[in-house]
Amino acid sequence: MMNMLCPWEAPTYLIFSSNVPNLLFYSHGVAILFALIFGVAIYSKGTRSLLSTLLFGIIILFSTWVFIDLIQWATNDPRVLIFYWSLAILLEGLIFTFSVYLVDVYIEGKDISFGKKVGLFALIVPVIGLLATEYNLVGVDVAVCDATEGPIATYYLYALEIASLIWIGFFSWKKWRKAFEDTERRKQITIFTVGLIIFLAFFIGGNIQSSFSDDWTLAQYGLFGMPIFIAFLSYMVVRFKAFNIKLLGVQVLVAALTIILATQFLFIRTPINRVLTGINLVFVVFFGRLLIKGVVREIKQREKLEDLTVHLEQANIKLQSVDKLKTEFLSLASHQLRSPLTAIKGYTSMLLEGSFGAISDNQKEAIDRVFQSSSHLAKVVEDLLNVSKIEQGGLKYEMAPFDFEKVAHDLATDLSITAQKKGLDLKYESDGKTHMVMGDMEKIRQVVLNIIDNAIKYTEKGSITVSVKHNDARNVDVLAVTDTGMGISAEEKEVLFQKFSRGEGGKTNTSGSGLGLYLAKQIAEAHGGHISISSPGVGKGSTFTIELKPAPVVAEAVIVPTESQNG
C-alpha cells in the first residue's frame, strides 16, 4: 500500500497540485504572511528579549506547520504524507507548550523556573517518543491520501492542547485579579491573553473537528485565529508600546495587504481583473507609504511630548522644593523682622508724641518719615507671614457672626481722611440694613482695608464709592469698591490675584508688595466667598467686589406662658 500513489499528479514546488483548492492558498497564505511579518519585525526591531524570542519561535513553528499542511494537501506520495503529518503533530504540540511558557514569561516578566521547564518538556516527551510508531499514525488511505491517527495524535495531543488552554486562562485570570490596582496592566493582560486564546482555540477547534469528521477542509478556518492574534498584538504595540518596538502594527498591515493583493495575480485569468488588481495594489502601496510616514511623524511628536512631560515634571518637583524653601525662608525672615520693626515703630511714635521731650519741626518730619516707612515695612512683613502661613496650612480663622456693613462703614470713614489729602471724594452708600456674615472679622477687615487702600493708591482724581448690599438671586452679601482710577486690561485680570503680581499700576506706585490681592483672594475663598474685579478698560476705573455668605439665622426661643403664669 505504501508504494502506491494517491490519485492525482505529483506536486510542483512541493505545494502546487490539482488537489489543493485555491481557497487554501488564501487561508494558509494570509496566516503565514501575518505571522512571519510580525515575527520578523518583533525579532529584528525589538530588544530580542526572552519574550520576543518565545513569540518569534511560536510564529516560526506555526508558519512551518501551515506550510507542511499545504505539502500534505499537494503530495500524492503516502510516504511523504506520513513524514510531514507526523512532523505537523509534533509542531502542534510544541506550539501549545511554548504558548504556556510565553504566557508565564509575559505576565511574570521573567523566565520560568527549572522545575516548570522540566514539567513542560515532560508533557511533550510522549509525542516525541512515539512519533514514528503506530500509536501516532496507523497508516494512510491511498484513495483520499488521508492518514489514520493513533491514540497519541487523536487523544493525548488534544488533551494536552485543551489542558494548555485551560491553564493559560486560569493563570491569566489569577494574575489579572492580583493587578486590581494597576488598570493599564490589567488591560495588557486581557488583550494578550484573549488574543492568544482565540488563536489557540481556533487552531485546536479546526483540527479536532477535522480529526473526528475526516473533513480536513474545516481545519483551514482555524488558521484565521493567527491574524486575529497578530491584530491584538499590534494593538498592544501601538497602545502600550509592547515589545519595545514602534510602527509595527501599521507596517504589518500595509505589508500584509500588499502581499495579499500581489498573490491574487496567481489566480486571475481575465485581463480586466489584472488591471483592477494592479490599480488596487498601486493605491495600497502609495497610501500605505503615506500612512507609515504619518505615523512616524506622530510617534516622533509623541516622543518629544513625552520627553517634555518628563522634563516638566522634574522641573515642577524642583520648583515645588524651591518654593517650599522660599516659603520657609520668608516665614523665618518675617518673624525675625517683626520684633525690631515693632520697636522702631514704638519708639518713633513716642518721639512724635513728645514722650522724650520737644523736638524741632525738621526732626519731627524726619522721624515721621521713619515711622511711615517702618509702618509700611511692618505691613509687608505681616503679608509675608500670612502668605507663608497659608501655604503651610497654618493660617487660623476664628469664625463668628459679624456685621459686614459695619466693618466696611468704619474702614471707609477711617480712610476718608487719607482720600481727602489726595483730593479724592470717598463715599459710602448704605441700604440701612444689617448684613451679618459668618467669618473671621479681623481677617475680613484686612481684606476690605486692602481693597479700599488700593483704590486710593491707584486713583489720581475723581471719587471712590464703597457699598454693601444683599444679592437676592445668589443669596450673598456683596461689598463693592468702585473707583475712577487707571482701570485694568483683560490680560492683567488673569494674573492680578497671583503672588507678587501688581499690574500696570505697580510701575508708577512702588509702595505695594504685590501680595495684598493674593491674600485677599485666599482669605475670601477660605470663607466660602469670592473676590473679583471688573473694569471697562484702561483709564476707565474699576470695581472690586467681595461676596460672603450670610450668617445662618438662629431663631430665638419663644416662651409660651403656662396657665399659672396667666394667673
pLDDT tens track, the chain, 567 positions: 445 788 889 999 888 888 888 777 777 877 787 788 777 777 776 556 888 889 889 999 999 999 998 899 899 999 999 999 999 999 999 999 999 999 999 999 899 999 999 999 999 999 999 999 999 999 888 888 888 889 999 899 999 999 999 999 999 999 998 887 788 889 889 999 999 999 999 888 877 776 676 666 666 677 778 888 877 877 776 666 666 555 555 666 666 667 666 666 665 666 776 776 677 778 777 877 776 677 677 767 777 887 888 888 888 888 877 766 666 666 566 556 666 777 787 778 788 777 777 888 788 788 878 877 777 676 666 666 666 666 666 677 888 999 999 999 998 998 888 889 889 999 998 887 888 999 889 889 888 988 998 899 888 889 999 999 988 888 899 999 999 988 888 788 777 887 766 665 555 554 556 677 888 888 888 888 999 998 888 888 899 999 999 988 654 444 445 444 444
What is the length of the chain? 567
Q: Which domain CATH number covers 501?
A: 3.30.565.10
Query: What is the reported pTM?
Result: 0.52
Residue 443 belongs to a domain: yes
Same domain, 170 and 240: yes
Residue whose C-alpha is closest to residue 238's, from 291, 309, 280: 291
Same domain, 379 and 406: no
Same domain, 437 and 381: no
Radius of gyration of the chain (CA): 43
Domain of 222 in residue numbering reads as: 22-248
Contact residues for 295 (Cβ-Cβ < 8 A; gap 6+): 247, 250
Residue 13 belongs to a domain: no
Residue 291 belongs to a domain: no
Same domain, 407 and 343: no
Same domain, 40 and 125: yes
Same domain, 57 and 190: yes
User: Can you point out the beta strands (E) in 89-238?
Assistant: 137-141, 146-149
Same domain, 348 and 433: no
Residue 486 belongs to a domain: yes
Same domain, 454 and 533: yes
Same domain, 523 and 438: yes
Place of cell 494593538: 235
Residue 153 belongs to a domain: yes
Last residue of a domain, one of 214, 248, 282: 248
Last residue of a domain, one of 357, 372, 391: 391
Contact residues for 193 (Cβ-Cβ < 8 A; gap 6+): 103, 168, 169, 172, 176
Same domain, 147 and 186: yes
pLDDT of residue 328: 64
Q: Which helix (H) or strand (E) holds 543?
A: strand 542-548
Residue 517 belongs to a domain: yes
Residue 150 belongs to a domain: yes
Last residue of a domain, one of 224, 248, 272: 248
Give the whole-angstrom CA distance, residue 311 versus residue 313: 5
* Residue 385: other Cβ atoms inside 10 A: 19
Same domain, 355 and 405: no
Residue 405 belongs to a domain: yes
Contact residues for 508 (Cβ-Cβ < 8 A; gap 6+): none
Place of cell 499545504: 70
pLDDT of residue 3: 55
Same domain, 377 and 424: no
pLDDT of residue 564: 42
End-to-end CA distance of the chain: 132
Is 445 strand, coil or helix? Answer: helix
The structural domain count of the chain equals 3
pLDDT of residue 256: 64
Residue whose C-alpha is closest to residue 456's, from 407, 509, 523: 509
